[in-house]
Structure 1
Amino acid sequence: MLPSDLLMHRLNGETVIPKRLKLDDPHQAIATELITIFESCKGQPQSELDRQLQELEGDTPDYRVKRGLAHILKSSFSTFEIISPLEPQELRRRVFELSAQVIPSQQATSETLEKLAEKLTQELNREVIPSQIKQGLYADLMENQILTQFDTPTTEDLIHRYNLSQVQGIFYRASHMTLNVHRNDPGEYKLLFRYLKLFQLMSYIEGDVDYGFTITVDGATSLFGTSTRYGLAIAKLLPALLHVTKWSLQATLVEKDTYSKQKRKGLFTLDSECGLVSHYPVGKMYDSALEASFAEKWADLKTEWKLEREVDLIPIPGSVMIPDFRLVHPDGRSYLLEIVGYWRPEYLRKKFSQVRQANCENLILAISERLNLEKAGVKVSDTPALTVWFKDKLLPKSVLQVIPSES
């Protein structure tokens, strides 16, 4: 996404309209020039890349567009690494210790680098030359980090990502958002709700699979004053929403007037005909490393129980509950698994309230022993679900042990 200083929009009354680039020849030419610079700078320090970008930018009036496109290329398609024989901080210590033993001079510097190069060659069991030490001394500075990999996008992909980032930036200042998703494929709902959960967005959901859902999300300014941290989470949801076939949203924004510095209300609307393109994958995803680890361990387990990622939505008043996994046995038995890991007290209260309202007889709750349920005001004994406790990692065998034997 783009930083606030590279976001551009205009106002039509209270409606905010973000800057979007056309897929025309002039803009594709700019994108091509930028991509070419990044390709030519592979293996070069970031300072050289920045020099060439500054040269391209010059004093042209579209400098903010060029900076925005370059920012996306840096943050989304480039890999910068610290190239040094040792960690730069340790390398500096070693060089300074040797340098302190001699009188400073050009010859002494060369001898110091040669001496340390010989030592490091023996220690690391590979050749280290003085120039590598000299280059690595301050390799941890951003301008000295090396562009080691560049995943070249097409000009269309770059412009699509820029347009999406401009729209995402609108949500940095969102105080409230109402999202309507209309009669879509159930799999699209599941993907959207999983992203809501992944980004820890506090939402109120009404509706059902047959008629669609209305999702209300409180935004950054309503919860945390002027902080944009929560607004970033809302912005990250947009690429997931683009995978839903039919939807519309309206967001209320808190803007600060450039001249009076007074806060004012802004509005932003968007729907499924917006033409934005998502870069999020449609395939399976995990809400946490804990879930991914559990699925990986299950794959190595010899059991008749099959672990499924796609599960049904459990309707509850004002929301839906999406368990993490389904366990299916060849004899037809089926259990839903919800992993409750490391969350805030308010989330725990909401989660266990959902479990009680769902009243699902075949639900298994896997609960971390690290959670302070008492502080959150949660009583597991009041929860109508099978329960399994875990410490750092959830083991598949522990889950299977709580399943009742077939009667």
Structure 2
Amino acid sequence: MLPTDLLSFRYHGETIAPKKLEIDDRNLATAHQLIQCFLEAQGCTQGDLDRQLQDLEGDTPDYRIKRGLAHILKSNLSTFEVVSPLEPQELRQRVFTLAATTVPCKESTVTTLEKLAHQLSQELKREVLPVEIKAGLYSDLNENKILTEFDCPTPEALLHRYNLSQVQGVFYRATAIKITAHRNDPGEYKLLFRYLKLFQLMAYIEGDADYGFTITIDGPTSLFKPSTRYGLALAKMLPALLHVTKWSLEANLQTRDPFSGNWKQGRFSLNSECDLVSHYPPGKTYDSALEESFVDRWNSTKTEWKLEREVDLIPIPGSVMIPDFRLVHPDGRSMLLEIVGYWRPEYLQKKFAQVRKSQCDNLILAVSERLNLEKAGVKVKDVPVPIVWFKDKLLPKQVLSVLE
């Protein structure tokens, strides 16, 4: 994402419109030029790269665009590492300790580096050159870190990433966000809800799978004290939302007037018809190897029950529960199956609380015997649905015995 000073917006009354780049020949050429700069800088220091980028910016009026594209390449697609025979702090201590025993001069500096290089070659059992020691002394400074890896994007992908970052910047000062996720594939919902949990966003969810969900998310400026970290977490949610087929979003913002410095209210809206492209990977087919192996065994089992993945959502007050599977019989019977194999006490408490609140009468829980439910404060006798216990693997015949 982009820092605040590299964001560009247009204001139409209270409405904010992020400025985005056209995917045209001119912008593609600029993106290609910056990507080449990073490719050629592999193995060089960050300081050398920064100087090349500064020369590339020059005094052109579009310097902020180039700087924004470079920021994305540097912060999201580049790996800078400390390259030194020892940890720089320890290396400095060794060098200075040796240097203290001699009179400061050019000749003694060479002698000190050669002496320590010989010592380190014996300790590390590889040849250490004096030039490595000299380069490693202050290699922990950002400007001296080495560009060791670069995940090279296409110019078009870089421009899409830049446009997405411009829109993400809107959420840094959001007071509230309301997302309407219309009727979609349940797997898309699950991916979105997973990212809401991952980024620890405070969300209230209403609705059901047949008509869609309304998700209300508190923004950073709605907290007792505005939190930049929370604003960043909120912005990280947007690429996940782009994987949902049909949705709309409205945000209330609190922005500072660039002229008077006073705070003012702003608005922003977006929907699934936007031309933004997500760089997040789509959801995995299975959440775990346990689920995948269960499906493989089920497919080789002779049964009339058909196994479907994540096609139902169970609404509960303020949230939603998405069972792992639905089991459908030709005679019309339908059961839901949720596999509980994760051990963290907080997860177990939340999962079983969801089961109680759902009041779902066609749900089966498959629970690992290795879980310490008692330690997590879960009382099995209070669980209102059938439980299938398993050890290392969940067998179809265990589930079928409950179904029949």
TM-score normalised by L of structure 2: 0.82
Q: Which moved more, 1:98-107 or 1:142-151?
A: 98-107
| 1:206 matched residue in structure 2 | 206
| 1:117 matched residue in structure 2 | 117
Report deviation, 1:355. 2.7
Partner Cα distance (1:18, 1:174) in 2? 14
Report deviation, 1:51. 0.3
Given that 1:31 and 1:158 are in contact with CA atoms closer than 8 Å, whether structure 2 keeps it comes out as yes
| 2:73 matched residue in structure 1 | 73
Equivalent residue of 1:362, what SS? strand
- Mapping 1:3-402, distance limit 5 Å: 3-284=3-284, 295=288, 310-318=309-317, 319-322=319-322, 335-338=337-340, 339=342, 341=344, 353-359=353-359, 361-363=363-365, 382-384=382-384, 397=392
Which residue identity is paired with 1:315? I
- Segments of structure 1 that go 5 or more residues without pairing to the other structure are 389-394
Equivalent residue of 1:183, what SS? coil
Report deviation, 1:92. 1.0
Report deviation, 1:340. 6.5
Partner Cα distance (2:293, 2:119) in 1? 45
Q: Which moved more, 1:362-371 or 1:119-128?
A: 362-371
Partner Cα distance (2:348, 2:260) in 1? 42
Which residue identity is paired with 1:316? P
Report deviation, 1:8. 1.1
Partner Cα distance (1:309, 1:115) in 2? 69
RMSD: 3.6
Which residue identity is paired with 1:280? Y
Given that 1:242 and 1:277 are in contact with CA atoms closer than 8 Å, whether structure 2 keeps it comes out as yes
Given that 2:186 and 2:310 are in contact with CA atoms closer than 8 Å, whether structure 1 keeps it comes out as no
Report deviation, 1:73. 0.5
Report deviation, 1:105. 1.5
Report deviation, 1:298. 8.5
Given that 1:365 and 1:387 are in contact with CA atoms closer than 8 Å, whether structure 2 keeps it comes out as yes
Change beyond 3 A, Cα 1:299–1:92: farther
Partner Cα distance (2:109, 2:371) in 1? 56
Equivalent residue of 1:139, what SS? coil
Which residue identity is paired with 2:252? T
Given that 1:201 and 1:217 are in contact with CA atoms closer than 8 Å, whether structure 2 keeps it comes out as yes
Report deviation, 1:99. 1.2
- Count of aligned residue pairs for this structure pair: 381
Equivalent residue of 1:277, what SS? coil
Report deviation, 1:261. 2.9
Report deviation, 1:283. 3.6
Q: What are the Cα deviations for residues 336-374 of structure 1, in whole angstroms up to 9, with x where unaligned?
A: 13446375xxx9987654232124552357898799978
Partner Cα distance (1:406, 1:349) in 2? 27
Report deviation, 1:186. 2.3
Given that 1:82 and 1:146 are in contact with CA atoms closer than 8 Å, whether structure 2 keeps it comes out as yes
TM-score normalised by L of structure 1: 0.82
Partner Cα distance (2:3, 2:284) in 1? 29
Given that 1:342 and 1:371 are in contact with CA atoms closer than 8 Å, whether structure 2 keeps it comes out as no
Report deviation, 1:225. 2.7
Partner Cα distance (1:177, 1:299) in 2? 35
Q: Percent identity?
A: 57
- Segments of structure 2 that go 5 or more residues without pairing to the other structure are 300-306, 328-333
Given that 2:171 and 2:253 are in contact with CA atoms closer than 8 Å, whether structure 1 keeps it comes out as yes
| 1:391 matched residue in structure 2 | none
